[in-house]
Structure 1
Amino acid sequence: MKIRNILLAAAAALTVIGSAQAAEVAPMRGHAIDLGDLSGTAYYTVENGAFHVVATIAPEGEHTLPVRFETTLAPGQSVVLSTPHELGFAAEAVEIVRLNDAVIMHKSPATN
């Protein structure tokens, strides 16, 4: 029954996402993040039932220190990482969503 709920939740999320590419992320397995001029990886660990998400991003081709973002997601929670652009251009964004016992990452429509 639990697997059925996860599959239904994932199907619902993919329906909402539409044509955007989505990927389920396995615990401790890095997943690429592409935010235009910034790129990096995200992964999560399971700690006492909570999903601890760590994302590290840095400018491409530059030798600067990366930025690390950490959060803990409960079932149904999500976080959006985005980079702004010039006025009139959509931001680059990726959303990390916890659906029950699964984590889904997908490109997210972002506002200016």
Structure 2
Amino acid sequence: MTLFRTCLLTIAATAAATAASAGEIRPAGAASLDLGPLAGVAYYAAEPAGYRVVVTLAPRAAAPASRFEAVLAPGQSVTVSTPREAGAAARAVTISRDGDAVSVTPVRVRQTAEATAAIE
């Protein structure tokens, strides 16, 4: 097992142990994410402009992870999703900030029609 994968699993285990109830993340904790073929963790840190939310995801098979970051002001939220086969709804979680609380909520995403565009 690679050092990266070992670190990711350690972070995920720590996140599972420190995540607050009802999906709320504590400032020193993290939340586990399950997006089907991807698994990972989300955590946040306070910054002058808002709360920086960091999401790290890795495929369940051995492959490099992906990271997503966003700064959330009070009342803001961000949705992280993974596509599935054509015609199927994506798997998604919404990370929301309400005052000083940050929470992670699984989302049922509507089925969407996939489209392609070309620039000529």
**Greater relative CO (CA pairs within 8 A, separation 6+):** 1
The root-mean-square deviation of aligned C-alpha atoms, in Å, is 1.6
What is the Cα deviation at residue 49 of structure 1?
A: 6.2
Aligned length: 91
Aligned residue number for residue 101 of structure 1: 100
Q: 1 CA distance for matches of 2:87 and 2:37?
A: 17
SS in 1 for 2:108: coil
Q: 2 CA distance for matches of 1:40 and 1:78?
A: 18
So what's the TM-score if we normalise by structure 1? 0.75
Identity of aligned residues (%): 45
What is the Cα deviation at residue 89 of structure 1?
A: 1.6
Aligned residue number for residue 39 of structure 1: 39
What is the Cα deviation at residue 28 of structure 1?
A: 2.8
SS in 2 for 1:107: strand
SS in 1 for 2:29: coil
Q: Deviations over 1:3-56 (max 9, x none)?
A: xxxxxxxxxxxxxxxxxx941100131210100000000000112262111100
- Structure number with greater Rg is 2
Q: For structure 2, list consecutive stretches of 5 or more residues without a partner in the other structure.
A: 1-20, 113-120
SS in 2 for 1:108: strand
What is the Cα deviation at residue 72 of structure 1?
A: 0.2
So what's the TM-score if we normalise by structure 2? 0.70
Matches within 5 A, 1:53-68: 53-62=53-62, 64-68=63-67
Matches within 5 A, 1:1-112: 22-48=22-48, 50-62=50-62, 64-111=63-110, 112=112
Q: For structure 1, list consecutive stretches of 5 or more residues without a partner in the other structure.
A: 1-20
Mean CA deviation greater in 48-57 or 64-73: 48-57
